[in-house]
Amino acid sequence: MVRSYRAQKPCEFELKDKAATTINMKDWPITIKGLVEYLKGSLGVTKIPSDYVIRDNPMVLPEPPGGHITQQQELITRATILTVGSALFC
């Protein structure tokens, strides 16, 4: 299982963090779009693309039929959102 993620390592090295988006108080749709693109283009401390924090369902879902399209998509869907003390909230 772990060996299947070897291909992920070069992707981590190749990914360059995007510049932070600017906030445009008069055009929130553009600001939100820029924020989403920024999160997609940056890795968190666990090396998972940061856009997992804005996914539609905060729960970790079972494996979809046919599997995940990419390893990055699998990491995003399996990432936990919140931990409090010893309890884990997904």
The SS3 call for residue 36 is helix
pLDDT for residue 84 is more than 60: no
Chain CA centroid to CA 79, Å: 8
Instruction: With beta carbons less than 8 A apart as the criterion, state whether 78 and 46 touch.
Output: no
Residue 62 has a pLDDT of 78
Q: Which two tokens stand for residue 28?
A: 């929130």
- Of 29 and 83, more confident: 29
Domains of the chain by residue range: 2-89
Return the closest-CA partner of residue 74 out of 37, 55, 83, 18: 55
**End-to-end Cα spacing for the chain:** 22
Indicate the pLDDT class of residue 29, thresholds 50, 70 and 90.
very high
Residue type, 39: L
Q: What is the pLDDT of residues 35-80, one digit of tens each?
A: 888 888 788 777 788 888 888 777 777 777 888 777 778 888 878 7
pTM value?
0.58
